[in-house]
Amino acid sequence: MSIENFEVKAYPEMWESLGMDVARFDKSRQMLGEVFSKTYLSQKNRPAKMKYFDGLIAEIFGGRIKEMLEVKKTGKPIVGTFCVYIPEEVVVAAGGVCVGLCGGSQGSIPDAEKILPRNICPMVKSAYGFKAGRICPYFQVVDFVYGETTCDAKKKTWEILDRLVPTHVMEIPQMKKKRDKQLWLEEVKDFKTRVEEVCNKTITPEDLGDAIKIINNKRKALQRLTRLRANHPAPISGKDGLLIEQIAFYDEPVRFAEKVNELCDELEQRLQNESGVVEKSAPRIMVSGTPMALPNWKVHNLIETAGAVVVNEESCIGSRYFKDLIDESKVDVDAQLDVLTDRYMQIDCSCFTPNDDRVDQVLKEYKDSNAQGILHYSLQFCHTYNIEEIKIREACEKYEIPYLSIESDYSPEDVGQLQTRIEAFLEQIREQ
């Protein structure tokens, strides 16, 4: 697939049937195609198996939506989520589709700012704006969405979003004591009940056991990819690694795992041939911090355009999503939900206090990925990550890890400034 002939495919009749603002959305579609071509298809020496993931972007507003509509016709639920705490295994157990709805685009933010305050997280505004402006087919196809209480901006926005699409909220405990796990377990049980009501089906132990295996296999494939990225020279770019992690929230999970493993087979062959995507001397950077929702590729693009390679993402769209698996040995629903909750309680979101586990995880992933520096990325007004950055910085100073912290949004206005800072950071690493 070349830069010249790539496009994000148009499905105007289907979009019209979903009640979208087709004329406006079509402009966004064309813009995404242009940005994707410039950012991704211009890369040299890409793995051949990336063709599947490029194709998924081409069909992200068409072919994938058609698949979801077919599922919906059978009475199975299409559930939109905004956080890796929402247990997708429950939706899969019901035969439904769990799809991420986080916003990573500047284009929908003006729609949100007609209602929401300007000085809140751009990811929250972008997501709300997609629905308010009717410019996201995923928002239009879901039966309902599940929000969560990981931050104040989110939990209050869900109240307003409920006016536009049925929105349910799961309470995320802010600590990890025994009583907090019990609260979260009850929330997971309520979530299961809601999904069962929509599809008029009781989820059996066999259903949930199969779903746990499916999502575990997806996470295992992503873990395998992460291990391969830790090799030297890196067999795949950080941009492609990020793209795959973003697609994990949209694609059919069985097929996705199969395609990631096919890619990993190719990467293993590359490693045997010592064929990397960059020179061995290229600085190896780990990106840590807030989620990077599709199509937020700004930081990775700046790092790799400057001659470095990103080898890991400690992020919700990254290792925080797939680093932990669920025990597959349980055979009754109560036990399955218990171990499922155990797994989700291991996610070290910055909403928790205390959260020293995340500092330890950042240091572990830095070592495991063979990185040479950490870039901590925070979205503007994301107070939990912005404040927790202090502890990450202190840990890097203690262990003499090259470190850069940046705060940004989705607009291109700060690209020049970020480029200067990132280039200086990389030069610091090269001089070591």
Check if the beta carbon of residue 123 is closer than 8 Å to that of residue 291: yes
Same domain, residue pair 151 and 105:
yes
Q: Is the pLDDT of residue 421 over 90?
A: yes
Percent of the chain with pLDDT over 70: 99
Check residue 5 and give its pLDDT: 84
Which one-letter DSSP state was computed for residue 37?
I
Check residue 2 and give its pLDDT: 65
Question: Do the domain assignments include residue 84?
Answer: yes
Same domain, residue pair 25 and 163:
yes
The total of structural domains in the chain comes to 2
Residue 142 tokens read as 């879901």
The Cα 384–Cα 292 span in angstroms is 16
Q: 401: domain CATH number? A: 3.40.50.11900
Whole-number CA gyration radius for the chain = 21
Residue 3: which pLDDT band, with cuts at 50, 70 and 90?
Answer: confident
Q: Which of the two residues, 214 and 279, has the higher pLDDT score?
A: 214
Q: Is the pLDDT of residue 293 over 70?
A: yes
Question: Do the domain assignments include residue 192?
Answer: no
Give the number of other Cβ atoms within 10 Å of residue 407's Cβ.
Answer: 18
Same domain, residue pair 156 and 241:
no
The Cα 234–Cα 239 span in angstroms is 12
Check if the beta carbon of residue 205 is closer than 8 Å to that of residue 333: yes
**Of 98, 94, 93, 68, the residue nearest 83 (C-alpha):** 98
Helix axes 122-132, 152-161, angle to 10 degrees: 10
Q: Is the pLDDT of residue 4 over 90?
A: no
Q: Which of the two residues, 5 and 430, has the higher pLDDT score?
A: 430
Q: Residue 5 burial by CB count (10 A; 0-12/13-18/19+): exposed, middle or buried?
A: exposed
Among residues 161, 178, 195, which one ends one of the domains?
A: 178
Same domain, residue pair 90 and 229:
no
Q: What is the pLDDT of residues 151-182, one digit of tens each?
A: 999 999 999 999 999 999 999 999 999 999 99
Output the pTM of the full model: 0.97
Same domain, residue pair 161 and 244:
no
Mean per-residue pLDDT, 98-113: 95
Q: Is the pLDDT of residue 432 over 90?
A: no
Q: What is the pLDDT of residues 305-334, one digit of tens each?
A: 999 999 999 999 999 999 999 999 999 999
Among residues 132, 155, 178, which one ends one of the domains?
A: 178
Question: Residue 167: which domain range?
Answer: 12-178
Question: Do the domain assignments include residue 94?
Answer: yes
**Of 293, 315, 261, 305, the residue nearest 47 (C-alpha):** 261
Q: What is the pLDDT of residues 344-389, one digit of tens each?
A: 999 999 999 999 999 999 999 999 999 999 999 999 999 999 999 9
Q: Look at residue 384 and give its three-state secondary structure.
A: helix
Same domain, residue pair 138 and 251:
no
Check residue 49 and give its pLDDT: 98
Same domain, residue pair 170 and 311:
no
Q: What is the pLDDT of residues 110-127, one digit of tens each?
A: 999 999 999 999 999 999
**Of 92, 131, 103, the residue nearest 254 (C-alpha):** 92
The Cα 382–Cα 380 span in angstroms is 6
Q: What is the pLDDT of residues 68-96, one digit of tens each?
A: 999 999 999 999 999 999 999 999 999 99
Same domain, residue pair 310 and 167:
no
Residue 225 tokens read as 């990819």
Question: Do the domain assignments include residue 190?
Answer: no
Question: Do the domain assignments include residue 158?
Answer: yes
- Tell me the pLDDT of the chain averaged across its residues: 96
Question: Do the domain assignments include residue 425?
Answer: yes
Same domain, residue pair 231 and 113:
no
Mean per-residue pLDDT, 98-109: 95
Same domain, residue pair 297 and 154:
no
Q: Where are the beta strands (DSSP E) in 244-379?
A: 284-289, 309-314, 373-379
Check residue 1 and give its pLDDT: 59
Residue 60 tokens read as 């992200």
Q: 113: domain CATH number? A: 3.40.50.11890
Question: Do the domain assignments include residue 202?
Answer: no
> Where is 263: in which H helix or E strand?
helix 253-272
Q: Is the pLDDT of residue 244 over 90?
A: yes
Among residues 178, 200, 231, which one ends one of the domains?
A: 178
Same domain, residue pair 172 and 237:
no
Same domain, residue pair 252 and 397:
yes
Question: Do the domain assignments include residue 183?
Answer: no
